[in-house]
Structure 1
Amino acid sequence: MTAVKNKVLSEKVVLHRNAFAIRGGVDYRRKVYATFLIAPLFLFLVVALVIPVGGIFWYAVSNSDLNNALSKTAEALKGWGGTELPAEPAFSALADDLRMARVAGKLPELGVRLNREKAGFGSLLRRTARKLPDAEGSGKRELLVGIDARWGDIDYWRSLYGATGIATPKYLLAAVDLQRNWDGSLTRVPAEQRVFLEGFLRTLVIAFVVTCICLAVGYPLAFILSEATGVKGRVLLALVVLPLWTSVLARTAAWMVLLQQQGVVNDVLIRLGIVEQPLELIFNRTGVYIGMVHVLLPFMTLPLYGAMKGVPKNQLQAASSLGARPLTSFITVYIPQTLPGIASGTLMVFIIAIGFYITPALVGGPDDQMISGQISRFAIQSGNWGMAAALSIWLTVCILMLLLAFGRFLRLGGSIQ
């Protein structure tokens, strides 16, 4: 009997093992199948998000070109105290690097980069490289100082020392009006160069005001749309969506024609007797607000319209039948149910508004330019990709912090995160 029981138990163990093996094989195949299903999405995120963002971060701290061009100098300056001129090997290394940079045609690029560290460095490099003899020799310190006395100025060597290295925090610090001294300490840039923090603040203020105006105008407009039915409702909805089919540049150019002193708006106001002199409606903050609100209003109205269509109409009637006044029932019953639409529209408008630069550039004045215009100027006009990337990173940080704060304020932090 014992042998029979052991045999039955062993057979059961084998069956269980086979069942687990089959189940494990099925689970494994399901996992592989699911992995293949999400692989295209993962690849898309890597190509469209991770690589570009990583490239921006790299441009913001990269110093590899300068470090490669002055590799011998960087090596010779390691351990330099910075309290007095470096020793003879540093001068010899610099002469060799300048000679090689001249042969490789990298002097103009090197001069532009070092001019950002200290004004006049580009001309110093060109003058020195032009007068350097081709033959090797000793006494490079006396030679370089003889070519240009600025090589005897320790400030130039400190700037050169601070610019060496594969990575540099220069751009990230400059984007918030800070600078790193040769000894590693941080100080604010001179008052006349403090433009970026003011630009960030101006950008946030403009985006906030535009969002508030869009909410104040878009909420009643969405309410009218949600109450309209039939042909009237479809026509009104088409009028809201229609501007999205026109480019931002075309709409902004149209506002330039309408808002100028001899434009349609001022002509109408004067003919109606509302004003006696043409108003300044363009090339100032007023023109920026008008142009941006016109562009962004549909992005506020449509989420509100979707939220309002889902509110049962009989709830306001029920509140009125219970004795609530129309305004009270609207505030306590209707508005809370449209909060998701308010949150969606507000976030969408605010984030898009932060990235505006075409409308402020065309209808705004010098004091109305947003930080996106600075990013465009550094990337396209100046070719300073490091500064453009650093400003982009800080702008992204501002957006993320505001999103988290907004989510916590509306108790929607979980869905945003």
Structure 2
Amino acid sequence: MSESHGSQGVSRPSGDSIVGGGFPVGLGDVRGLVDEIPHIVWLSGANGSTEYVNRRGIEYSGLPAEANFNGAWVSFVHADDAARAKAAWEEAVRTQTSFEQSYRIRRADGQFRWHDCRSVPVRGADGAVVRWVGTATDVDGQKTLEENLRRSERQTAETLTLLETMQAAAPVGLAFVDRDFRYARVNDTLAAMAGMTVDEMVERRVAEVIPAAWPQVEPFYRRVLDTGESVFGSSGTGAFGTDPGRVHSWLSSYYPVRVDGEIVGVGLIVVDLTERNDAEAFREVVMENMAEGLYTVDDQGRTTSVNRAALEMLGWTEEELLGRSMHDLVHFQRADGTSIPIGECPMLTAHTEGRSIRVEDQIFTRKDGSMFPVAYSSAPLHVGSTAGGVVVVFRDITEQREQQRRELEERHEQKLESLGRLSAG
């Protein structure tokens, strides 16, 4: 699969052919064997001009057996690879060194597939190149696999970098506490709340860092570890071990952290409310800075507060929602349009049963009537010792669903491709 150089003629032994079906004189006895090789095989003259392409190459290209490949092979190469492949081949012929390149070759059906192409010079007794022998091996499946792996590694690295950046820059305290109640990971914000550096705080027990507050927060840690349920919006007050003269107030949420289904510790989000004790400060620090939608309702299901992310996702204004039933406006119907009676709404179960609820697949309705899938957590909102309403945190999972659909389609296509290769073999 090579082309001649310049306008000079091509000299061949008498009887040689440059067509696909031809085979150079003296090598005809192995033609049958070469035609059975499941790779494209070609022979070129000393100057790089094509003399023979085996049956696999003829079938792959879709050209008739008598087709003249000489000078035309570049037209089968993908436009993005053609110049590179041609230049590499010309350099190999000029320097009389082996040729190795990977590029995409067009199949008879128009599809381009990656091939590893190699060609080595055959030398005569005097050491001069008399012919080139080349092969093209289909490696499209391997290339796809490698690309998927690279993409997966890149996405993983990007995700880790994003999480580390968000953790470092987050205006709230973040930590991971292991099953021995030791801080395994802490961000700068939480360390600053404790009046310590991250290095000083890591590996120390929670009870050592906040001894006065430990009796308040210990039940939440144990509940998460014992039940696997999250605890949202728990308020607390106390002094830190490094600052015993000052009483701090904070709002904390505790989440189970699982590895292979096993709870290995507790994720902690802490908002320091020491300098922000009024409701407006709470809204700005906690609600307005959340990427997830958040709203609260009273014991009658009427909206008492809603954050900016929720308003943007739902299409309502705060004035339109406050005092109205979120069930009647937002989560009153299923994906098929059938209504959900308020008594069957799982979101309000958090209030009636006094426990947190997590739902991974629910339908919310926007102001314009359009619906979108969400995952949400609903937890009782305590006022003093009683549950005075419900706090709901939700996120749009439309993109997540689409990603899952694409992954399923990709796996399906890979299976079909594998079956096709097995059939061909």
Report the TM-score when normalising by structure 2.
Answer: 0.26
Point out which structure has higher relative CO (alpha carbons under 8 A, 6+ apart). Answer: 1
Report the TM-score when normalising by structure 1.
Answer: 0.26
Structure ranking higher in strand proportion? 2
Structure ranking higher in helix proportion? 1
